[in-house]
Amino acid sequence: VSDDIRNLLRALAEQVNAQLPSALQRLGGPERLREAMAYTLLAPGKRLRPALVMLAAQAAGGEHSAARSAAVAVEMVHTYSLIHDDLPAMDDDDLRRGRPTCHRQFDEATAILAGDALLTGAFQILAEDYPPKTASLCCLELARGAGSGGMVGGQADDLAWERQRGPGAPATVADLEQVHSRKTGALFRACVRLGAIVVQGEQTGDSLSRSLSALDRFGRFFGLAFQITDDLLDVEGDAESIGKGVRKDAARGKLTYPGLIGADQSRKKAGEAIQTAMQAARELGMNGEPLVALAGYLLERRQ
């Protein structure tokens, strides 16, 4: 199973990688800004979110190709979030996707602007590439997942907990689940919903809402499990294979699963979230099988 899913992920990553340079080209802009955008966007990321967009399109009964532009848009938003996440005012990291972080390679202002441009560019791609009704539904979905009620809100929570660390601010697993669901779960949820929307297009009604509700649950729990495994990799992984610094979370006083409940309990929580995600994907029938397999692969990931 693992080998199949690895091959599938590689093939989907190739599809999205083939689209990224021309999408960037279309956004235009001054040379140094474009270089900074390309520097982190084209660096070797796993392209997991784009893969989810395409696999969700398949689960909703469509073709991967229908979801390509949505996949590109999501990768742009994700990459912006990484560039900003690494800034000195946030996690202050030096290594990303196996390279110096964007602000290290260029400068802080350029990294901030490269992030801004990738974020806005994502909405341009959606608006240019889909018919108006589909485009507006996609923009809505992505804005909700990425904005203050989703990822940005989760990043704000993440930093707030970091700054309140120590006695007087005892966190609970429920607090942590909320941080992770927002900062990571919300964008994963948007990914799978986008996949369904580009396939169903102008349609509404029962079949769309049935697949949306299963995909929604899949995305939320997959995202939660993904962030738990990210926290575990910070503790147990090596910088070489994950392409970013390790042992940073505890040093910064981050609220993380292994920090709060230990590695074993964290693996258990990730396992539970994965089971819930798998169950949701099974409701999608045959077309949902790759999503089931992808969820199963999460616990074994080493990068």
Q: Which residues bind ligand IPE (CB under 6 A)?
A: 45-46, 48, 78, 81-82, 85, 91, 93, 97, 151, 155, 183-184, 227, 230, 244
What's at 58, amino acid-wise?
A: Q
The nearest distance, CB 79 to Mg ion, in angstroms, is 13
| Residue 85 interacts with Mg ion (CB under 5 A): yes or no | yes
The nearest distance, CB 125 to Mg ion, in angstroms, is 25
Cβ-closest position to Mg ion? 91
Between CA 198 and CA 156 the distance in angstroms is: 30
Contacts of residues 107-111 at CB distance under 8 Å and 24 or more positions apart, as own/partner, are: 110/32, 110/33, 110/36, 111/36, 111/83, 111/84, 111/86, 111/87
229 binds, among ligand IPE, Mg ion, none (CB under 5 to 8 A by kind): none
Residue 66, Ramachandran bin (φ over 0: left; ψ between -120 and 50: alpha; else beta): alpha
Q: Where are the alpha helices (DSSP H) in 106-185?
A: 108-129, 132-146, 151-163, 173-180
Toward Mg ion, which CB reaches closer, 91 or 141? 91
Span between the terminal Cα atoms of the chain, in Å: 18
Query: In the set 56, 62, 84, 91, which binds Mg ion (CB under 5 A)?
Result: 91
Toward ligand IPE, which CB reaches closer, 62 or 185? 185
The nearest distance, CB 49 to ligand IPE, in angstroms, is 7
151 binds, among Mg ion, ligand IPE, none (CB under 5 to 8 A by kind): ligand IPE
Between CA 57 and CA 194 the distance in angstroms is: 8
Toward ligand IPE, which CB reaches closer, 53 or 151? 151
Residues 33 and 113: beta-carbon distance below 8 Å: yes
> Would you mind telling me the total number of residues written for the chain in this entry?
303
Footprint of Mg ion on residues 202-231 (CB under 5 A)? 230
The nearest distance, CB 133 to ligand IPE, in angstroms, is 29
Toward ligand IPE, which CB reaches closer, 64 or 183? 183
Toward ligand IPE, which CB reaches closer, 199 or 235? 235
The nearest distance, CB 257 to ligand IPE, in angstroms, is 11
Residues 62 and 143: beta-carbon distance below 8 Å: no
Q: Give the footprint of Mg ion on this chain (CB under 5 A).
A: 85, 91, 230
